Structure 1
């Protein structure tokens, strides 16, 4: 295993400990300046899992003759919109962090969130694979997706509370603000880039 592979495994283990309520998970993450910037490599780590789900969306759009342009163009726009929804809210939080008194925890939050989001992307992959290889089990894959969505939402909340370190009230406020910001940015970019497809 390469050094990077070992690091990724360690970071995933760290955020998993945070997700399961163990505060010591933060000590397994690199909360340095280099660690802050390196944590955005988590986007590339998550990309294979995300691409599989996006390919499923593209296939469904193509089957319904709703695909705007070529499949490659559609996927490229999905990448831009989703990466934007990942990164831009973090940038916005960096701007307001000093005013909401969490500036000293901003690096902790970004590092933990980036690696947690990558882990969640892989956790959400099984329903997509079930849909691809066993299309007749669509109802089961949809139910599994819904269950995993709420489970990972709860686990991500735990990561936020631990990373912010200001107690459940402040952590919950940051969590919901970032969820709203991410969804808002995603919908805006999808609309701007023309990848909002009615019925999917």
Structure 2
């Protein structure tokens, strides 16, 4: 049963291809997503594919704030359990927010598709974020350069998400902007809570 909740490699590849088509402005990319009831719940399982990258991203906190680095196996396990808990929250909260927004803005029929697309976008954005994080460890760049690259990548991810959501909404610019801002704010709040918990 658990295995059925984790998307297969073929479904992951198909869904990511759908995202690329949408980012290129091709509406037919939406047809590559499974928006059935099973596909809806399986899209949350995309977190399993994103988890390795998420764990690596959390180790960046040790570089930025050395005092948060866990000592010993027990503290390390606790660190990743807490981090993973907030990652799961960051995966589920957008779905709840999209449901609420859908009821208020008359988008209830589109919510399942938006949730599926957002979940798969979460997988892609985790690995996009992996590259600037890895660059900090591998490239002899200054902190200013690393920070600039991270900000540019973050802004690019936000822009791509907006493009994808706007296309899924049939070109509804205002709704796409509202949803994008809402998702960004939710992510920032959860990130702040997670940093507070891990630093404490």
Of the three residues 130, 135, 138, the one matched with 1:133 is 138
Of the three residues 100, 104, 108, the one matched with 1:103 is 108
Task: Give CA deviations for 1:140-165 in whole Å, capped at 9, x if unaligned.
Answer: 33322221111111001111112233
Q: Is the 8 A contact 1:108 1:164 kept in 2?
A: no
Number of aligned residues: 191
**How much does 1:189 deviate?**
5.0
TM-score, normalised via structure 1 length: 0.84
**How much does 1:68 deviate?**
6.8
> How far apart in 1 are the matches of 2:189 and 2:147?
23
- Could you say if the C-alpha distance between residues 89 and 4 of structure 1 is closer, same or farther in structure 2, counting changes exceeding 3 Å? closer
Of the three residues 85, 99, 111, the one matched with 2:90 is 85
**How much does 1:75 deviate?**
2.1
**How much does 1:132 deviate?**
1.6
Q: Any gaps of 5 or more consecutive residues in structure 2?
A: 1-6
TM-score, normalised via structure 2 length: 0.84
**How much does 1:136 deviate?**
5.0
Matched, 1:52 2:56: yes
Equivalence for 2:151:
146
Equivalence for 1:195:
198
Q: Is the 8 A contact 2:22 2:167 kept in 1?
A: yes
Q: Is the 8 A contact 2:62 2:68 kept in 1?
A: no
Task: Give CA deviations for 1:81-106 in whole Å, capped at 9, x if unaligned.
Answer: 12212212312332442232010000
Q: Aligned-pair RMSD on alpha carbons?
A: 2.3
> How far apart in 2 are the matches of 1:181 and 1:55?
22
